[in-house]
A and B are shown apart, each in its own frame.
Chain A
Amino acid sequence: MFDNFPIWPVAASSHAFWEDLLYLFLVAVCTAMTLLIFAAVAILATKYRRRHGREATPIHGSLLLEITWSVLPMGVFLVMFVGGAVLFFKMRTPPRDAAEVYVVAKQWMWKLQHTEGQREINELHVPVGRDTKLIMTSQDVIHSFYVPAFRVKMDVIPGRYTTMWFRPTRAGTYHLFCAQYCGTMHSGMIGEVIVMEPADYQAWMSGGPVAGSLAENGQALFQQLGCSTCHRFDVQGRGPNLIGIYGKPVQLEDGRTVVADEDYIRESIVNSQAKIVSGFKPIMPIFQGQISDEQLNALVAYVKSLSQAPAGQAGTPELKSPGTQPESPK
């Protein structure tokens, strides 16, 4: 019976517990407030219903009451605000060592690629208990990656990266929905997130042919596209040394400082003129339209891997301790 008529969504991620807790808190408070108002209206309306011989008593108001019923709700609202903000902060701050999956959305499908190189379409396999971060972009319109069982959602926007993360807590198969209207088959842009026990996941990972990890593909592209002519690791080239830049602040020519997150690295590649690194000339070619979103993901993954633990460990974040400087480039 409850298969056809569920009233509560399955909870399968570490966010879900907190999300449900906050939600239930709001439900409790709001139900109480609703009942209070319904009861007040019902009781007052029957008690003072019109009867012959009894007149209304004129009352103009009460400053004390007005202050009470402005300040009290504000206090309750503040609690909700803080609870929501804290949870949101957590949802928006991926752990540094989360495993990464790159997502490219297009009308009307999801293309995913693991850093290890596995590609998937409309399916995402993840192991129980591992923090997973999605780095997402769209090829056409705005979509939104939504997994109700994980209680996470993030718009997927053309021309930039958005990210989200979760830690699955329960093996199973869950809905993946596109939540942002994206045209004719918006409701068909659905898929599955398959959460597996770590052993099963390892087996799944090792099956199927893979042409190199994302970072390895990125490295090959880095040579092919001539990036390496300017970005050198041994001597100072015409472009900045890319080792260790990921996650660090970058001083820009116009005086601003930005953090080199995925979106910054992406923008530096497709449209390098948007933000010029201090001390360099705007000579880097614009790669907008020259490379596909998938190639871009590989390049970004490669540049990021230059900021990770010793060579060979790139892409296996579990082994990396945050803040470690790379000793030598690969």
Chain B
Amino acid sequence: MATLAVSGERKNYLNAEYGIRSWLFTTDHKRIALLYLLSITAFFFIGGFAALLIRLELLTPAGDLLSADAYNKAFTMHGQVMVFFFLIPSIPAVLGNFLIPMMVGAKDLAFPRINLISWYIYIIAGILYIHCLVTGGVDTGWTFYPTFSTEFSNTKVIEAGLAIFVSGFSSILTGLNFVVTVHRMRAPGMTWSRLPLFVWSHYATSIIMLLGTPVIAITLVLVVLERALNLGIFDPTRGGDPVLFQHLFWFYSHPAVYIMILPSMAVISEIVPCFSRKRVFGYNFVAMSSIAIAAIGFLVWAHHMFVAGISLYSAIVFSFLSFLVAVPSAVKVFNWTATLYKGSISFSTPMLYAFGFIGLFTIGGLTGLFLASLGTDVHIHDTYFVIAHFHYVMVGGAVMGYLGGMHFWWPKISGRMYPEGWGRLAALIVFIGFNLTFFPQFILGYLGMPRRYWQYPPEYQVLNVLSTAGATILAVGYLLPMVYLLWSLRYGKPAPDNPWQATGLEWQTSSPPPTFNFDETPIVTQEAYEYENMPLPEEVTLER
């Protein structure tokens, strides 16, 4: 392509300035996205290391590799790191940060300096958390339930609570930045109904971040205060209520699962149309289902508490609402599938991840129904069934979306093509490894193996060994992209501006984009996903 030659010489956001200071003091949303990329990858390794310890310990029924306390710290660290330091920031802070301004046709986010501040806040939180880990760690589980966390744990609960408290501000500021950007910075002609679905989903995510995060922040402050000053808020011997904490915690943490999955849905809604060469089926319904999920998602928190002693009737109401929130998710899956109809479908790496996402998210979502249904939840609550369910959603769904998105936009981010063959292979390995790791856990759960068990009765061993074997394959699948994406930075083919012939505004500018994204502000005259007018991508990028 003509642009191929040009992009090599152009000034872009990567070579605009050099030196560590130019990165640490940048206000360019694309550079900040890369800062986030590096830091969340580091945390993914920490969380992954803990997962490795957990899986190794569970190879045998006896507690032999780690001590009981070390095991408890390992799953706590795994959960907290993966949720608060990897998955919540992953797609929004990396891909969202990089792409939202470009997708709406803006030069940057509404508040570039606040964007940098949110990264620093994240880093401060991360350092606090790592400090907590190296000075002894914490063993409350990522859920911090009192009265264990407030009175009985002898670990660094205050430090961990404060670290997560601080990290919340990073989410809040990112959410604020996205909301204002989407409202105020759209290019001429970019009406709400022309916004890419990626932006719609991130808009919904940002609203949850803004409304939900303050609640977890204050809840953690209450735990810290209770521990430090003995207030008695959650202590029944002084008129407190330990179950109150669970209401507060899940009021945030249920919507937080949508903070983790909506951005991934955002990515899939871009990939599927592009590799089917069609407008996404039922644009309005996909967009509105994101908003519906964000809204109803705030009304289902007590489905985590059906056996925590809440009243019979409130349990029934929350069960009903939980079934209701499943509908918009199902609608999305149907619409993505329908988009394939009469398309021109390519099996490129991002599309393979999208297929993987649809499959795993379907299983994850449907197994959620077992937990929403009161009768079945009584038996499988707090067993490995729950672990399997949320990993299908959060790892099968969200991480698949993240990897798919990284491949899809990698040419734009790095200016290089990744090796397609390796990409497809890795996607396949991840899919197989994932299912082998987590499918046996559904069976374990129904058999009754409780979660957070360091040692377990011997009849559960075979399934646990299968799961650990799967985790090994999964690890290979995750390491591969890490290797070949880095390799491509040097040896990959230079990327054309629009290797996939995709419609979004981000593809109208060069790869990698200049610092201010567009040489002149784009004017939008089309709906999103007008693939009729786009040529098919060059075969160079689709080498077979």
Which residues of A come within 8 Å of B, CB atoms?
3-9, 18-19, 22-23, 26, 30, 33-34, 37-38, 40-41, 44-45, 48-51, 54-62, 65-66, 69-70, 73-74, 77-78, 80-81, 83-89, 91-93, 107, 140-142, 144, 146, 148-149, 151-155, 157-160, 162, 175, 177-188, 190, 271, 274, 288-289
Within 437-458 of B, Cβ neighbours of A (below 8 Å) are at 443, 446-448, 450-458
CB of B72, distance to nearest CB on chain A (Å): 7
Residues of chain B with a CB closer than 8 A to A61's CB:
281-285, 335, 338
Indicate which residue in B139, B147, B459 contacts A6 across the interface (CB closer than 8 Å): B459
Complex: A288 Cα to B236 Cα, angstroms: 10
**Are A153 and B323 interface neighbours, CB within 8 A?**
no
Complex: A149 Cα to B446 Cα, angstroms: 10
B377 on interface, CB distance cutoff 8 Å: yes
Interface centre among B338, B373, B446, B459 (most CB of A within 10 A): B373
B31 on interface, CB distance cutoff 8 Å: no
Q: List 28 A-B contacts (CB under 8 A).
A: A5-B459, A5-B463, A22-B376, A30-B366, A37-B358, A37-B362, A38-B362, A40-B340, A49-B347, A60-B282, A65-B334, A66-B282, A77-B324, A83-B375, A87-B374, A88-B306, A88-B312, A140-B152, A141-B151, A142-B242, A142-B308, A149-B448, A154-B309, A157-B242, A175-B457, A183-B148, A187-B455, A289-B237
Given A56-B277, A146-B448, A151-B379: A81 in contact with B373 (beta carbons within 8 A): yes
B191 on interface, CB distance cutoff 8 Å: no
Complex: A186 Cα to B457 Cα, angstroms: 14
Residues of chain B with a CB closer than 8 A to A107's CB:
152
**Are B450 and A146 interface neighbours, CB within 8 A?**
yes
Residues of chain B with a CB closer than 8 A to A37's CB:
333, 337, 358-359, 362
- Nearest B residue to A263 by beta-carbon distance? B309
- Nearest B residue to A78 by beta-carbon distance? B323
**Are A187 and B375 interface neighbours, CB within 8 A?**
no
B39 on interface, CB distance cutoff 8 Å: no
Within 492-526 of B, Cβ neighbours of A (below 8 Å) are at none
Complex: A89 Cα to B306 Cα, angstroms: 12
Q: Is the interface of B mostly helix, strand, loop or mixed?
A: helix
**Are B362 and A34 interface neighbours, CB within 8 A?**
yes
Report the count of interface residues on B (CB-CB < 8 A): 97
- Nearest B residue to A22 by beta-carbon distance? B375
Residues of chain B with a CB closer than 8 A to A34's CB:
362-363, 366
Interface 0/1 of B233-269, CB less than 8 Å to A:
0001101011100000000000000000000000000
**Are A85 and B359 interface neighbours, CB within 8 A?**
no
Interface 0/1 of B330-353, CB less than 8 Å to A:
110111011011111111000000
CB of B140, distance to nearest CB on chain A (Å): 8
Select the stretch in B118-126, B313-321, B478-486 that faces chain A.
B313-321
**Are A66 and B331 interface neighbours, CB within 8 A?**
yes
Residues of chain A with a CB closer than 8 A to B145's CB:
141-142, 180-181
Q: Is the interface of A mostly helix, strand, loop or mixed?
A: mixed
**Are A41 and B337 interface neighbours, CB within 8 A?**
yes
- Nearest B residue to A19 by beta-carbon distance? B379
**Are A4 and B462 interface neighbours, CB within 8 A?**
yes
**Are B376 and A186 interface neighbours, CB within 8 A?**
no
Indicate which residue in B63, B276, B316, B448 contacts A187 across the interface (CB closer than 8 Å): B63
Complex: A38 Cα to B451 Cα, angstroms: 30
**Are A58 and B152 interface neighbours, CB within 8 A?**
no
Complex: A58 Cα to B527 Cα, angstroms: 13
**Are B358 and A26 interface neighbours, CB within 8 A?**
no
**Are A19 and B375 interface neighbours, CB within 8 A?**
yes
**Are A65 and B338 interface neighbours, CB within 8 A?**
yes
**Are B307 and A154 interface neighbours, CB within 8 A?**
yes
- Nearest A residue to B337 by beta-carbon distance? A40
**Are B327 and A73 interface neighbours, CB within 8 A?**
yes
Residues of chain A with a CB closer than 8 A to B283's CB:
60-61
**Are A151 and B373 interface neighbours, CB within 8 A?**
no
Residues of chain B with a CB closer than 8 A to A50's CB:
277, 344-346, 536
Residues of chain B with a CB closer than 8 A to A151's CB:
378-379
Complex: A3 Cα to B460 Cα, angstroms: 9
**Are B342 and A84 interface neighbours, CB within 8 A?**
no
Complex: A44 Cα to B276 Cα, angstroms: 11
Within 210-239 of B, Cβ neighbours of A (below 8 Å) are at 236-237, 239
CB of A19, distance to nearest CB on chain B (Å): 6
Indicate which residue in B237, B340, B382 contacts A144 across the interface (CB closer than 8 Å): B382
**Are A187 and B453 interface neighbours, CB within 8 A?**
yes
Interface 0/1 of B99-134, CB less than 8 Å to A:
000000000000000000000000000000000000
**Are A77 and B309 interface neighbours, CB within 8 A?**
no
Residues of chain B with a CB closer than 8 A to A45's CB:
340, 345, 347, 355
B48 on interface, CB distance cutoff 8 Å: no
B472 on interface, CB distance cutoff 8 Å: no
Residues of chain A with a CB closer than 8 A to B375's CB:
18-19, 22, 83-88, 91
Complex: A155 Cα to B302 Cα, angstroms: 14
Interface centre among A55, A181, A182 (most CB of B within 10 A): A181
Complex: A184 Cα to B463 Cα, angstroms: 24
B180 on interface, CB distance cutoff 8 Å: no
Complex: A48 Cα to B337 Cα, angstroms: 12
Residues of chain A with a CB closer than 8 A to B337's CB:
37, 40-41, 44
B279 on interface, CB distance cutoff 8 Å: yes
Given A33-B366, A185-B68: A73 in contact with B330 (beta carbons within 8 A): yes
Interface centre among A18, A19, A159, A188 (most CB of B within 10 A): A159
Indicate which residue in A49, A62, A144, A188 contacts B455 across the interface (CB closer than 8 Å): A188
Complex: A18 Cα to B243 Cα, angstroms: 29
Complex: A219 Cα to B111 Cα, angstroms: 71
B383 on interface, CB distance cutoff 8 Å: yes
B13 on interface, CB distance cutoff 8 Å: no
**Are B279 and A58 interface neighbours, CB within 8 A?**
yes
Residues of chain A with a CB closer than 8 A to B296's CB:
none
CB of A134, distance to nearest CB on chain B (Å): 13
Complex: A74 Cα to B72 Cα, angstroms: 40
Interface centre among A77, A84, A274 (most CB of B within 10 A): A84
Complex: A132 Cα to B102 Cα, angstroms: 64
CB of B463, distance to nearest CB on chain A (Å): 7
**Are B447 and A181 interface neighbours, CB within 8 A?**
no
**Are A30 and B367 interface neighbours, CB within 8 A?**
yes
B278 on interface, CB distance cutoff 8 Å: yes
Given A41-B358, A66-B285: A181 in contact with B141 (beta carbons within 8 A): yes
**Are B382 and A141 interface neighbours, CB within 8 A?**
no
**A40-B340, A50-B346, A60-B281 known; 4 other A-B pairs, CB under 8 Å?**
A48-B342, A80-B373, A81-B320, A85-B316
Indicate which residue in A154, A155, A183, A288 contacts B152 across the interface (CB closer than 8 Å): A183
Residues of chain B with a CB closer than 8 A to A154's CB:
307, 309
Interface 0/1 of B354-393, CB less than 8 Å to A:
0100110011001101101111111101110000000000
**Are A41 and B340 interface neighbours, CB within 8 A?**
yes
Given A56-B278, A56-B343, A177-B450: A88 in contact with B316 (beta carbons within 8 A): yes
Residues of chain A with a CB closer than 8 A to B333's CB:
37
**Are A84 and B341 interface neighbours, CB within 8 A?**
no
- Nearest B residue to A88 by beta-carbon distance? B374
Indicate which residue in A3, A40, A153 contacts B381 across the interface (CB closer than 8 Å): A153
Interface centre among B316, B372, B461 (most CB of A within 10 A): B316
Residues of chain A with a CB closer than 8 A to B341's CB:
44, 48, 59
Residues of chain B with a CB closer than 8 A to A49's CB:
344-347
**Are A160 and B309 interface neighbours, CB within 8 A?**
yes
B64 on interface, CB distance cutoff 8 Å: no
Across the A-B interface, give the 4 residue pairs with the lowest CB-CB distance, nearest first: A159-B236, A148-B448, A87-B375, A84-B373
Within 145-171 of B, Cβ neighbours of A (below 8 Å) are at 145-148, 151-153
**Are A159 and B323 interface neighbours, CB within 8 A?**
no
